[in-house]
Amino acid sequence: MGNPFKPAAGMTPPVLISRAGGIEDFSYALDDGVGAPGRLMYVIGACDVGKTVMLNALGDVAQQRDGWLSMRRSTPISSVV
């Protein structure tokens, strides 16, 4: 298999590599009780390592649960008010 990634800011590649652990941790945090003391997740990294892609994936996980809304900069405020 060739390299599936063609760099483009914020675009989700066909395969997310080495992201399963972070997505599982986030999913567990949603199930276990958001707002618990000490519960904080940082998404950090150098330029072009996939921070935006990771945040989009986490937003997708949250949206799959009842009561969660994932807002992006392009979300019209009228759709949530």
Chunked mean pLDDT (size 10), the chain, 81 residues: 64 78 88 74 85 88 81 69 61
Maximum separation of any 2 CA atoms in the chain, in Å: 46
Find where tokens 């969660």 sit.
68
End-to-end CA distance of the chain: 46
Query: What is the Cα–Cα distance from 37 to 47, expressed in whole angstroms?
Result: 30
CA 57 to centroid of chain Cα atoms: 3
Stated pTM of the model: 0.69
What's the pLDDT score for residue 70?
74
CA angle 16, 32, 77 (to 5 degrees): 65
What's the pLDDT score for residue 1?
60
